[in-house]
Structure 1
Amino acid sequence: MTATGVSVGQLLERLSFAGLAHRAGALDAAAVVTTVTSSDEEPTAAEGGSALVLGIGLADRAAVEQAWRRWSRAGAAALVVRSALLGDEPLAVPPGRTVLLGLGAEMSWIRLAGLVSGDAEQTSAPGALRHLDGVPAGDDDAYVLANSLASLLGGPVTIEDLSSRIVAFSADQDRGDEHRKRAILERQVSPAHNAVLEEDGVFAELYASSEPIFFQPRIPGARPRIAMRIRYGEESLGSIWAVHDSPPTAVQSQGLVEASNLLALSIMRRRLLDDARSHEQHQLVDQLLRGGRDAMEAAAGLGTADLPAFVVALGRVEPGSDEVDDEYQLRTAARTAAAYLSSVSRRAVVAPVGSQVYAVVPVTVPTRQSAELPAQHAAEARRTGQHLVQRLGRGQVCLGIGDLVPDVSQLARSRRQADTAVRVLRDRHDRGHHGDEPHVAYWRDLQVDALLMETVDAMTSRQEPLGAPFDRLPLDQPDQVATLTAYLERLGDVSAAAADVFVHPNTFRYRLRRIAERSALDLDDPDVRFALMYQLRLHRRRSGD
């Protein structure tokens, strides 16, 4: 499948004013760039050959040749280095498709990263979902506004989405600290940086305040920040950040509030336009979730790569009684999920289908798949789900995760699993398990609960009663049923079981003997104990306990 982005040939043409030129290697002008990274990152960041690698910190020809060899093995599209490092001597060209480009001394790395990222995103497919929940990355109006705020504040400004992806920034980022410069290069604030801010309550304060907040990050080398939320009604859309050494003045605060309102209105206006285009995408996502040959066609229409993928299902814990409000909440959840998941996988696609929101998340996996891959997928997917639920409001939604399947034709299985996880989580909530119960679950973690639910469903639809040995129990004597249940669940530990039902162990033994005698049960038989435990669980579910 053809990638979406900007070609190396287009970059050479558009950035020739910055001294960007082909210096060595076989030039493939059609090679596509969809991401920008730096040479000190792990080569796996090449994302299947779509990376433009910036040679930041390369000090001499030997370092250039070493980095070129490393990134050629990873299949990156191009490596950019300062032309002054290359001289006139021919370079040792490594095998592979990675071309070497030279850059003039006048162009800063930060500015180059911004220009390249803007080009790549403005030429991306509509289904890429890379936006500030309504404002596409590279949007000229957002950049103009960022520059205006930087002039007002006297410090560099970024505009970020809910996942802390930088979608616009002012031109004066050289005045920022190293943390800011790095974030601009990667177009994403460091997760480690955000973890400190979250721990210190900065995000909670930011999204609860209608005024700008000022704080000193508890991060070595970080300068103070001003932050302002972007919000429309009750919905958070993103935030504005500025590196600033002192609290904002009244004029500066007013400017930030007005800029936030302007961005919020712009986002909502653009949403109205996007809604008209989203209908076709929703149909394609629905087609994708059904799997099979149709899913392969839908993947082409959405711009998703032919990669392993998994399904995430999002549902409200308690569906509301207002149909209009339910629809609004569903669309809001879809937009928030799209904004966040696009930072996890640039090819992720999200849409509300029926009464739930679904996300299909393609994953780049190592060529040589290891036995640990399923466990790695489960752990990473749980973390992603937990972060998303925190943004949507813990206690309001539950999120189920399906298996990672080899290709999109098998997504119907992953969807069924994600749906099952959501249903089990809702069932636990309905049965009063609210406390520390997780709102995010990988379906395999809930497999036993799911099998119990499916068995109850099948028996109810066929109007079948529970058979032996359950049908011999004295159900009209709750104390005896409670005694047997405690005995089974405590695996025969009489002292612990007696404590559970608040009786003396001798009384408990007497009751147990009476149950075994009257019901003709051999409680020493492990098969009988297993059958009773299983049937008692089914009975509790059927009776709504």
Structure 2
Amino acid sequence: MITVPGVVDRMGPTLLRTVHTPDPTPVVTDVVIAEAAKRTQVSSGDLVLGVATASTADAVDLVRLCGQHGAAAVLFKPPHAARTAVRTAAQKARVALVEVHSATAWAQLVWLLRSVLDAAADEATDALNPGPFGDLFRLADAAAAVVDAPVTIEDANSRVLAYSARQDRTDPARVSTIMGRRVPDDVLARFRSRGVFRELSRGRTAIFVPAQKDGTLPRLIVPVRMGGELLGSMWAVVAGPVSDERAAAFADAAPVVALHLLRRRAREDSDRRRSAELVRSALDGTGSARLVAAELDLADEPHRVVAMDAQADDPRAEGVRLALLERLTEGVGRRPAVADVHGVLYAIVPDVAGPGGWSALREALSTPTGPLVAAGTPVPVSDLARSRAEADEALSLLRAGLVTGPVAAHDDVWAVLVLHRTAVASTGAGVAHVGPLALLRSREDADWYLDTLYEWLRHPGDPRAAAAALTIHPNTLRYRMSRITAAVDADLGDPDTRLALLTQLVALRWS
């Protein structure tokens, strides 16, 4: 259990500032996004983020709504929290009012707040089941007290897992790290150029990095290891060189942090496996749709199944999987529902605009060098198996090069689907092996005969367009068609004959 002041203290003054707190102090249970043009569902104990608040009147209305439903606090960026009308509304509604630093990204704030709530839950669990170590935020505070400097605890990929108090006494690089929940790329590059990560991999107990010309303060860095594996690191922003005794005391905290990271990994692996099992049952159409929706936190709205090509024999496969997970976790307040099935990575995403929805994911993954990604049509949670089958079908078209990639939605490529299904059915019925087309296929120069006839049939009455599709001159097209007319014992002026020939050619080209 954690209160609003407790959340603000954990986040630190770099990100949050309390404007008003009612008495008694409200307890926080969850984080909710107040979106534009959408009635926000607020429950008791919620931290409500005024993401789309455009005016003071909107802010006052949101505060009143939160008060009616017992929310713990409302968070606004400047200038709304400082407005007299908003503060008065918060006092009357008995809701805490918190101001968010203007440069803070809402998406990142959500994940930081959830981390604080998760840490508080871990702390409550530790109180019921005492163990040799507490939550990471308490460990960060303890390590900071030892080294007398603000500390962050990061995983092996430089993502921030926890941080101590006093982060306002650091430098811009640390502030960016806290706000972004990971070390920025330019800061990583600077430390990498100084050989910091090479030293971490070599097993040094403590690494001191002097101040840099760009204003970055000195760092004392300790690797966190267990069984020879680098699990993460602790970073302290120090004023200057640290005594050997204090550095050793700081390093002594690493084994305790390692135990916590291993426990955290085991819990996350268990949660991930459970989530993947639920996703697979939803994709197969087995199990309870209500259970899947509840366990995976799927809202009562249409969802799409997204299939991403991540074949195991592709050297990029692991990077591709991580890239999709990264894209999914960029959504505000959304937990990714992901499972790997036979080399294809499936995700269940809401069919909504904005962060966390299909439209944002589609835009993020539409890069020329990205993986092949296909989506089924939007369906209720109870019908996800159908959306999965449609995603598989669209992905097969991308793999065959019949649809221009790298991203395709089943409902956008319907014309190609019709032709492909027709071709598959026609091939199974053997339609391409009857009639005069068999004679053309037996010729040594069959390719140009078939290609010319195909484009001529596709562009009836427009020889220029047919010639352009073949990248030849219209006169060349007319010459070829005269050869084809002489070779084919059929009336090409008959519409049924043309339709039958086009069906045969589609079967040959699209199956």
| Aligned residue among 478, 489, 492 for 2:463 | 492
Write the letter of the residue equivalent to 1:348: P
TM-superposed deviation, 1:539: 0.2
1:78, 1:99 within 8 Å by CA — same for their partners in 2? no
TM-superposed deviation, 1:11: 1.7
What is the alpha-carbon distance in structure 1 between the residues aligned to residue 193 and residue 495 of structure 2? Answer: 56
TM-superposed deviation, 1:167: 3.3
Unaligned runs of 5+ in 2: 11-16, 123-133, 201-208, 241-249
Aligned to 1:511: 480
1:253-296 Cα deviation digits (max 9, x unpaired): xxx99999998997677545654565544332222224587222
Question: Secondary structure at 1:493's aligned position in 2?
Answer: helix
Aligned to 1:34: 31
TM-superposed deviation, 1:230: 11
* RMSD over aligned Cα atoms: 6.6
Unaligned runs of 5+ in 1: 1-5, 57-62, 126-138, 215-220, 247-255, 366-372
Aligned to 1:306: 300
| Aligned residue among 152, 166, 175 for 1:172 | 166
| Aligned residue among 52, 61, 69 for 2:61 | 69
1:161, 1:339 within 8 Å by CA — same for their partners in 2? no
1:159, 1:240 within 8 Å by CA — same for their partners in 2? yes
TM-superposed deviation, 1:94: 8.0
Q: Structure 2 length normalisation: TM-score? A: 0.60
Q: Structure 1 length normalisation: TM-score? A: 0.57
Percent sequence identity is: 27
- Tell whether 2:335 aligns with 1:347: yes
Question: Secondary structure at 2:335's aligned position in 1?
Answer: coil
What is the alpha-carbon distance in structure 2 between the residues aligned to residue 488 and residue 245 of structure 1? Answer: 78
Aligned to 1:131: none
Q: CA 1:519 to 1:335, structure 2 compared with 1: closer, same or farther past 3 Å?
A: same
Write the letter of the residue equivalent to 1:454: R
Question: Secondary structure at 2:289's aligned position in 1?
Answer: helix
- Tell whether 2:368 aligns with 1:385: no
- Tell whether 2:349 aligns with 1:361: yes
Question: Secondary structure at 1:410's aligned position in 2?
Answer: helix
Aligned to 1:465: 431
- Tell whether 2:392 aligns with 1:400: no
Aligned to 2:384: 411
What is the alpha-carbon distance in structure 2 between the residues aligned to residue 463 and residue 181 of structure 1? Answer: 67
Residue range with higher mean Cα deviation, 532-541 or 47-56: 47-56
Aligned to 1:283: 277
Pairing of 1:97-246 with structure 2 (within 5 A): 99-101=94-96, 117-122=114-119, 140-141=135-136, 144=139, 157=152, 159=154, 166-176=160-170, 181=175, 184=178, 210=198
More relative contact order, 1 or 2 (CA 8 Å, 6+ apart):
1
1:342-372 Cα deviation digits (max 9, x unpaired): 3325232222234432222246x5xxxxxxx
2:275, 2:337 within 8 Å by CA — same for their partners in 1? no
Larger radius of gyration: 2
Q: CA 1:507 to 1:203, structure 2 compared with 1: closer, same or farther past 3 Å?
A: farther
Aligned to 1:475: 441
TM-superposed deviation, 1:381: 2.8
1:230, 1:263 within 8 Å by CA — same for their partners in 2? yes
TM-superposed deviation, 1:516: 2.7
- Tell whether 2:410 aligns with 1:443: yes
What is the alpha-carbon distance in structure 2 between the residues aligned to residue 440 and residue 177 of structure 1? Answer: 41
TM-superposed deviation, 1:54: 7.6
Question: Secondary structure at 1:360's aligned position in 2?
Answer: strand
1:59-86 Cα deviation digits (max 9, x unpaired): xxxx99873434445886522699xx99
1:41-65 Cα deviation digits (max 9, x unpaired): 9667996437525899xxxxxx998
Question: Secondary structure at 1:404's aligned position in 2?
Answer: coil
Aligned to 2:129: none
Aligned length: 455
